[in-house]
């Protein structure tokens, strides 16, 4: 059985690159300023914030690589979309369970909205760019 592939169209390339650079920038902020971000958001453990930043750098290494290809396995793009969707769901869970500051709540909502847009487009391109 031949594995499905997805063509990296200009639109998909743009989405992957914006996802890469915005997520990468966010990861660097979390890594470099974890304690400060924790104070702003109400999350007291800076180590957890830095760990999330490191995990995001791993994710962006894959999205950047994918954006530079002509085709990628369809399941890879589906994985990107699912990871982004999980981020959005986890954001809602964090807001409901943690005693966050107003700045923390607003920040998490704004990031989740951006990530939701990435996820929607990744699911869309998974569907329409398969070859």
Give pLDDT tens digits for 107-118. 999 999 999 999
First to last CA, the chain: 14
**pLDDT, position 130:** 85
pLDDT at 12: 98
Give the pair of three-digit tokens for residue 78.
Answer: 């589906």
- Please give the DSSP secondary-structure letter assigned to residue 98: S
What does the pLDDT look like over 74-101, one tens digit per residue?
A: 999 999 999 999 999 999 999 999 999 9
Q: Is the pTM of this model over 0.85?
A: yes
CB of 49 closer than 8 Å to CB of 37: yes
73 neighbors 4 (Cβ within 8 angstroms):
yes
CA distance 101 to 86: 22
If one counts every other C-beta atom within 10 angstroms of the C-beta of residue 41, the result is: 20
pLDDT per residue as tens digits for the range 42-69: 998 999 999 999 999 999 999 999 999 9
């Amino acid at each position: 059985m031949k594995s499905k592939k997805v063509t990296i169209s200009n639109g998909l390339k743009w989405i992957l690159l914006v996802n890469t650079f915005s997520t990468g920038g966010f990861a660097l902020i979390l890594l470099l300023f974890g304690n400060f971000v924790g104070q702003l958001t109400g999350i007291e453990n800076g180590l957890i914030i830095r760990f999330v930043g490191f995990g995001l750098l791993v994710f962006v290494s894959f999205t950047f690589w994918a954006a530079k290809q002509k085709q990628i396995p369809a399941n890879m793009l589906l994985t990107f979309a699912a990871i982004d969707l999980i981020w959005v769901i986890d954001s809602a869970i964090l807001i409901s369970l943690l005693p966050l500051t107003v700045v923390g709540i607003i920040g998490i909502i704004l990031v989740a909205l951006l990530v939701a847009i990435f996820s929607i487009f990744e699911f869309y391109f998974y569907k329409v760019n398969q070859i």
